[in-house]
Amino acid sequence: MRAVRSVKVTTLADNAVYDSRLLGQFGFSGLLEIVDSGGRKHSVVFDTGRIKSALLYNMRALRLDLSQLECIILSHGHHDHTCATVELIRKAKRKVKVVVHPSIFYPRFVVEKGKRRYYGVPKGEGREDILRAGGEIVETTRPLEIMPGVLTSGEIKRVVPFERIIWKNFALIDGKQVKDKVPEDQAVFINVEKRGILVVSGCAHAGIINTLQCAIDVTKTKLYGFIGGTHLIRPKETRLKETLKKLREFDLKLVSPAHCTGHKSIAAINQAFPKAFVLNYAGRTIDTARKLKDPVF
């Protein structure tokens, strides 16, 4: 797999916020600014958050220019990752590809006190809305190379027993109510020269261990680290311990959990990886262009 020279990841939306100029939200979005092997710059957005006004506010505060945005990758079809896709497409001065799994637009909901509460892709951000805004939808269940050195995971094999989905949310598929196992959950894998694979995840509904193993299996390259959600917000003690044990086996140099990881799990990961850990929050920038001996944030 070819490598890129560097990638700078700026968190646009996250639960936590450090800079008083910015807004937090329960959602995730990241801007990936990539320098390819030829020195050309590329702009990719991974997920588009839950509150579009907060996301757009943060972009203005950070003075980010998305006019050259090439691609939006949506990790899965929940409302905290898909709220501003159309708005970002409209900011671009070029055709924007939107890479998704075919099942991303299924209606999703949770049943509370006998009533459905919708939490799928928000109104105004669906398939037809994206097309009307000028986006090009690319649907795939398999890994897709966005550019040399950058590819999506495609469907992630779920082989780790303690990462199975046990929640009771639902999806409507062909008019039938079924448990929402989030089959479309995907991550992005970036091969950074002299470092290895950087994984960016949305919620990691497939499991962060399954996701990292998928990165190795698909790229045949060593891991460098990961940024993003881990879906460990309210884990059982056994799952958290097993996750930390498995994470140690990957020899990660960068560990930056975000969004749905939760304070307890973030603290545990920090303790387990004191040198590799980087606290994430809206406005955080992690740049692999820094020298290997220097921190990347």
Contact call for residues 248 and 272 (beta carbons, < 8 A): yes
**Phi–psi pair at 152, nearest 5 degrees:** -85, 160
Query: What pLDDT is recorded for position 165?
Result: 84
DSSP for residue 213 = H
pLDDT at residue number 69: 98
Chain centroid to CA 134: 23
* Percent of all residues in the chain with a pLDDT value above 70, rounded to a whole number: 98
pTM greater than 0.75: yes
Q: Is the pLDDT of residue 260 over 70?
A: yes
Spatial strand order of the sheet with 96-100 comes to 135-139, 96-100, 69-73, 41-46, 29-35, 6-13, 285-287
Per residue in 158-179, pLDDT (tens digit) is 999 999 887 779 999 888 889 9
* Distance (Å, whole) CA 93 – CA 254: 33
Whether the pLDDT of residue 236 is over 70: the answer is: yes
Q: Which of 235, 232, 213, 233 is nearest to 223 (CA)?
A: 213
**What are 177-227's pLDDT values in tens digits?**
899 999 999 999 999 999 999 999 999 999 999 999 999 999 999 999 999
Structural contact between residues 188 and 199, judged by C-beta atoms closer than 8 angstroms:
yes
Q: What is the pLDDT of residue 146?
A: 97
Q: pLDDT tens digits, residue range 247-257? A: 999 999 999 99
| pLDDT given for residue 294 in this prediction | 63
Q: What distance, in Å, lies between the first and last C-alpha atoms of the chain?
A: 26
Give tens-digit pLDDT for 108-125.
999 888 888 999 999 999
pLDDT score of 73 = 98
pLDDT for the residue numbered 291 = 65
2 Cα distance to chain centroid = 22
Instruction: Give me the pLDDT at residue 20, please.
Output: 87
User: pLDDT for 30-45, tens place per residue?
Assistant: 999 999 999 999 999 9
Q: Which CA distances in Å does 116 have to 26, 111, 177, 184, 257?
A: 20, 5, 11, 22, 30
Model confidence at 292, pLDDT cuts 50, 70, 90, reads low
- Paired residues of 34 in beta bridges: 7, 42
Interstrand relation of 254-258 and 223-229 (parallel, antiparallel or unpaired): parallel
Say which residue, 20 or 217, is predicted with more confidence: 217
Taking the C-alpha atoms of residue 101 and residue 120, their distance in angstroms, rounded to an integer, is 14
3-class SS letters over 42-92: EEEEECCCCCHHHHHHHHHHCCCCCCCEEEEECCCCCCCCCCCHHHHHHHC
Residue 293 confidence (pLDDT) above 60 = no
Read off the pLDDT of each residue in 113-140 and give the average, rounded to a whole number: 95
pLDDT of residue 77 exceeding 90: yes
Domains with residue ranges and CATH for the chain: 6-287 (3.60.15.10)
Residues 6 or more apart whose CB falls under 8 angstroms from that of 295 comprise 278
Q: What is the mean pLDDT of the chain?
A: 95
Q: How far is CA 185 from CA 70, 131, 221, 230, 273, in A?
A: 21, 22, 21, 12, 26
Which tokens sit at 50? 């839950």
